[in-house]
Amino acid sequence: MLEQDQKRLSGMVDRSDTVALTGTVESIGFHNPESGFCVLRVRTRDDWEPAAVVGQALRVNVGEWVEARGRWVTDKRHGRQFKADELRLKPPGTRAGILRYLSSGLVEGIGPHLAKTLVRAFGEQVFEVIEQQPERLLELPGIGRKRQQRVLRAWREQHGVRDIVVFLQSHGVGTARAVRIYKTYGDQAIERVRENPYRLALDISGIGFQTADQLANRLGIARDAPVRIQAGVRHLLWQGAAAGHCADWRDELTARASAWLGASAVAVDAALANELEAERLIKETVAGRELLFLTHLHRAELGVARHIRRLREGRLPWGILGGTLDVDQAWPWVEQRAGLILATSQRAAIAAVLDNKVSIITGGPGVGKTTVVNALLLMLRAKRISIRLCAPTGRAAKRLAETTGQEAKTIHRLLEYDPRRQGFKHDAREPLDTDLVVCDEASMVDVSLMHKLVQALPDHAALLLVGDVDQLPSVGPGAVLADLIASGAVTTVRLREIFRQGQSSRIVLNAHWVNAGQLPEVPEPQPPDGDFFLIRCEKPPQIGERLLRTVTERIPQRFGLDPLQDIQVLTPMNRGDLGTRALNASLQRALNGAAEPRVERFGWVFAPGDKVIQTVNNYDKEVFNGDIGRILSIDTDARDLRVAFDGRVLIYEFGELDELALAYAISVHKAQGSEYPAVVIPLSNQHFMMLRRNLLYTGMTRGKRLVVLIAQPQALSMAAEQTGEARLTRLAARLTSKVPDVPEDQFVQFSPTAQQSNPTGESGECVS
């Protein structure tokens, strides 16, 4: 016994010599809900002082009963600790323990006040009442039917989650996504995971192939099992889709999968054959080579091509071809109403749109796209044409509404997502009631969302796509706007002439220089009242220091702009010292460091006043990827927080906070479709993987009043010189060939691409 105690105190206990520890959670020193790692102070029956217990638990609360197995060690920094290999938590059995347990916020809807009421009313039987006699909760003051249901739902979830945690931990997998697994699969979670762990990578947000593969290995699934290889090739195709591609060459995919999975080419070919037979993949032969598509992307490409061809046919809804409007005589009326003189290129653009049912207007900043659209809408409103305006993001839709004076919606809201269908209300069976749809920021629309939009247009309607084809490719797969232009099947007007207002803006001029592959021009010394500034730094740490000072001091003092409301930091990457995570942490400390209360979830710390961004589409809340809001309040008792998005206040339970991230700094990708009074862009050699011309061009064109580049000279040169990789798509070819009918039953989300165009010129051009 003495020898064992000496081993414990010295930290030299053998790893196989595990012991048990039981007690009550006295306090929580640290807990990371994403990884499950925790440091607990546990009151045991044998010790006067609480023991420090280190382990993993998805959820932990003060007052819970702990059953752990592990070993005692002596940490050089923290002293004697119990390192738990297994950590199980159970509800307590004493009144005091129950009160602390329920007061900790474990069960949503129960705070300290209600916890006292429950313990006073039901004593040690409170858990039995919740589980077996839930109607008795309604006898208590302050509990109505809605709150009762919330409490019961959270209580049931606790038990389901604990079973999942035990199962996952017993197979060596972390507990970070156990709640989401339970919510997805319910009571069948363990059965479904045992049956095919690779389904987690498809069904559960945040779980990728690697995690599923680790679990499969623990469950005894062989490395050469067909189910593993099939999941692996699907994963590689999904990776390609995340990079923007709609397909992959079969020979290249086979070689890549074989090396990555450690499987023979024969086994990979067999897996691909099974996926093709199950219609999860579609095969096409192009120039003698086989091209493989994920089925939903293949259907989306076919659908876009078919519906574009359908919309191009027939009579124009405004009857221009019938001679009911003399366009040449309409110019004086339009110019008088709009209070401007249209340039020749702008008149040509309007005439081209009026002569075609499907058309595109593209061009960079300052070339008059907004003027053309407004003049066109004036003419068509006078003809009583029904017009619907939309854009891919909430901010882009809001800006479109402001510039046109008409209602504009996101594409998702225009098509009206229906949770019962798990799809949009408006589709080929129930099309929109409109004569014309104008979609702004069309370069952001990916192939799947464009499919949903075009199939919802009635046969008689026209479609106008407006956007800058030279902007950064979107996050989702496809190159829709670029492919439509490249196909020659859609009338395209490219505006090139920079008008007077744009000519006086260094932002506009430098954006066009960068788009032409040249460095921005900055006069020396830089004028204090300018709208474009370049701060050169030799090393990355200098960039971080200058950025913080620029956002918190220099811009607010010189331009009177609010660092939270008016200034947006845009960075090329999420990781690294100058990525979104690191910059958000430093900007949050500087701008909102004193705010309380604070809640830490999924790697982020949130506080009232923080600027946040929605990171996924949430159709129930009608808030979408890229929407930016502000946290109004945090309720630690109710375990939720309130966020304001463009005047709407939404409630997020703590378990939903993986949908939010801090937004003091966001990626350039996330900023597409938005404009800000001022943008600050750091460019470092650390960002070399992302430094491309269209990234810098897109970031610069997000600034409305002010753009500040804080850059290493080499990184700036690299960004201006390097062009992006072409995306592998077949939409352009489909637009010029016969397209077969395809089912209209797929609902998928993603977003688009752009392509490089010629530098700015003197006038616009129309290509039919």
Secondary structure (DSSP) of 262-304: T--HHHHHHHHHHHHHTTSEEEEEETTEEEEEEHHHHHHHHHH
| Cβ atoms of residues 108 and 154 within 8 Å | yes
User: pLDDT: is 8 or 499 the higher one?
Assistant: 499
**Does residue 146 lie in a domain region?**
no
Q: What angle do CA 607, 545, 696 make, to 5 degrees?
A: 90
Strand order of the β-sheet with 289-294 is 247-249, 289-294, 281-286
Contact between residue 482 and residue 442 where contact means Cβ atoms under 8 Å apart:
no
Report pLDDT for 756. Answer: 32
723 is in an annotated binding site: no
Q: Residue 178's pLDDT is what? A: 65
Q: Which domain holds residue 55?
A: 19-90
Closest CA to 699 of 738, 733, 671: 671
- Final residue of a structural domain among 63, 90, 117: 90
Same-domain pairing of 388 and 452: yes
368 assigned binding-site residue: yes
Exposed/middle/buried for 445, CB within 10 Å: 0-12, 13-18, 19+? buried
- Confidence check: pLDDT of 15 > 60: no
Same domain, 448 and 383: yes
Task: State whether 461 and 580 are in the same domain.
Answer: no
CB distance 754 to 471 below 8 Å: yes
Query: Could you report how far apart the first and last alpha carbons of the chain are, in Å?
Result: 91
Question: For residue 673, what is the domain's CATH number?
Answer: 3.40.50.300
As a whole number of Å, the CA-based R_g of the chain is 30
d(CA 349, CA 561): 37
* Pair 369, 446 in one domain: yes
More confident call, 323 vs 712 = 712
Please, are residues 117 and 151 in contact by the beta-carbon 8 Å criterion?
no
pTM over 0.85: no
Per-residue model confidence (pLDDT) at position 149: 86
Residues 320 and 366 in one domain: yes
- pLDDT for 322: 39
Mark which of 62, 90, 118 sits at the end of a domain: 90
Residue 393 labeled ligand binder: no
Q: Is residue 471 located within the same domain as residue 559?
A: no
Same structural domain, 563 and 617:
yes
Residues 345 and 481 in one domain: yes
pLDDT at residue 733, rounded to an integer: 94
Domains contained in the chain, number: 4
Based on the domain organization, do 438 and 346 belong to the same domain?
yes
Backbone angles phi, psi at 284, to 5 degrees: -130, 150
Is position 366 annotated in a ligand binding site? yes
The reported pLDDT for the residue numbered 748 is: 36
Q: Is residue 224 part of a domain?
A: yes
How many angstroms separate the CA atoms of 578 and 599, rounded? 24
pLDDT over 80 at 267, yes or no: yes
Which among 479, 413, 409 is positioned nearest to 443, based on CA atoms? 479
**What local confidence, expressed as pLDDT, does residue 680 receive?**
98
Residue 192 pLDDT grade (very low, low, confident, very high; cuts 50, 70, 90):
confident
Assess whether 234 and 366 both reside in one domain.
Answer: no
Highest mean pLDDT among 71-85, 524-538, 701-715: 701-715
Residue 74: is its pLDDT beyond 60? yes
Residues 433 and 388: beta-carbon distance below 8 Å: no
* Residue of higher predicted confidence among 2 and 724: 724
Q: 682-741 pLDDT, tens per residue?
A: 999 988 888 899 999 999 999 999 999 999 999 999 999 988 788 999 999 999 876 555
Span 201-252, pLDDT tens digits: 888 766 788 888 988 888 889 999 999 999 999 999 999 998 899 999 999 9
Residues 521, 508 contacting (CB under 8 angstroms): no
| CA distance linking residue 704 with residue 74, whole number of Å | 58
- Please count the other Cβ atoms lying within 10 Å of the Cβ belonging to residue 277: 9
Residue 696 within any structural domain of the chain:
yes
Instruction: Choose between 501 and 612: higher pLDDT.
Output: 612
What is the domain-level CATH number for residue 31? 2.40.50.140
369 is in an annotated binding site: yes
Tokens of 422: 């798990």
Read off the tokens for 270.
Answer: 């067999």
The residues with which 683 forms a beta bridge, in sequence order, are 711
227 shares its domain with 362: no
Within-domain flag for 142: no
Q: Both 320 and 292 in a single domain? A: no
Label residue 294 by pLDDT band (50, 70, 90).
Answer: very high
Q: The domain that contains 223 carries what CATH number? A: 1.10.10.2220
Q: Which of residues 466, 495, 524 is at a domain's end?
A: 495
SS3 of 520, please?
A: coil
Position 693 scores a pLDDT of 92
- Average pLDDT, stretch 634-651? 88
Residues 6+ apart with CB under 8 A from 767: 488, 491, 492, 493, 494
